[in-house]
């Protein structure tokens, strides 16, 4: 961009807008203008990117509830939906190429690195013992939002079902 005639001295140049998929650099930059010389200022914009976040939850035993009965104290498990660690997900691009394999942390959280804007699929490939695997293929489109958003985030929330367990007790009488 070329300005009109400016007086010699110091000025500040500030970017007011940019085009997709770039992020604006709104920092005012100093430029010194000398008589009969051209002042040049190079400004480089970063390209906005996308990121996929996975939130994995499942019903897990978080406490024991104590109650009384005619036979004594009864201890019952209390289940709450919380983050599930150790689940593995694959993120694939439109060609089916795996671009990330992610494992959820203790909070059930995992995230990709920065990705180009495109459509991706996210699928759980393994769960942890005691929980069913979710076979859903989640389609995620990462698209440019605006010049002020350097990272566009999309979240996939997945809940696994607990595989129920039971205990059967056969009491035999003494002879």
pLDDT surpassing 70 at residue 82 = yes
Mean pLDDT on 153-157: 98
Which of 2-11, 30-39, 95-104, 128-137 is predicted least confidently? 2-11
Which sign does the torsion angle of CA 75, 76, 78, 79 carry? positive
Q: CB of 55 within 8 A of CB of 157?
A: yes
Q: Are strands 151-160 and 49-69 parallel, antiparallel or unpaired?
A: parallel
What is the reported pLDDT for 174?
73
Q: CA 139, CA 92: separation in Å to the nearest integer?
A: 10
* Rounded percentage of the chain residues whose pLDDT exceeds 90: 73
What is the reported pLDDT for 169?
82
Mean pLDDT on 19-42: 90
Per the rule left: phi > 0, alpha: psi between -120 and 50, beta: everything else, 99 is: alpha
E strands in the chain: 9-13, 22-23, 29-33, 46-47, 49-69, 72-83, 88-92, 98-103, 109-111, 119-126, 138-141, 151-160
pLDDT surpassing 90 at residue 4 = no
* Rounded percentage of the chain residues whose pLDDT exceeds 70: 98
Mean pLDDT on 121-138: 96
CA geometry: angle at 30 spanning 11 and 25, to 5°?
115
Say which residue the tokens 């390209």 belong to: 47
User: 171 phi and psi, to 5 degrees?
Assistant: -100, 130
Residue of 153, 146, 112 lying closest to 21 (CA atoms) = 146
Mean pLDDT on 81-95: 97
pLDDT surpassing 70 at residue 1 = no
Q: What is the pLDDT of residues 35-54, one digit of tens each?
A: 888 888 888 899 999 999 99
pLDDT surpassing 90 at residue 105 = yes
Residues 6+ apart with CB under 8 A from 149: 23, 48
What is the reported pLDDT for 2?
67
What is the reported pLDDT for 37?
85
């Amino acid at each position: 961009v070329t300005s009109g005639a400016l007086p010699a001295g110091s000025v500040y140049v500030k970017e007011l807008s940019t085009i997709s998929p770039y992020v604006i650099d709104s920092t005012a930059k100093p430029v010194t203008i000398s008589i009969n010389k051209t002042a040049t200022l190079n400004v480089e914009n970063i390209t906005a990117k996308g990121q996929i976040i996975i939130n994995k939850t499942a019903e897990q035993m978080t406490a024991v509830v104590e109650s009384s009965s005619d036979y004594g104290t009864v201890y019952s498990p209390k289940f709450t939906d919380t983050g599930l660690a150790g689940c593995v997900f694959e993120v694939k691009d439109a060609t089916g190429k795996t671009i990330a394999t992610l494992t959820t942390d203790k909070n059930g959280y995992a995230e990709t690195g920065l990705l180009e804007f495109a459509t991706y699929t996210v699928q759980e490939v393994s769960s942890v013992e005691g929980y069913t695997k979710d076979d859903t293929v989640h389609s995620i489109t990462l698209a440019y939002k605006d010049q002020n958003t350097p990272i566009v985030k999309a979240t996939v929330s997945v809940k696994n079902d607990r595989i129920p367990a039971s205990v059967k007790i056969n009491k035999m009488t003494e002879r």
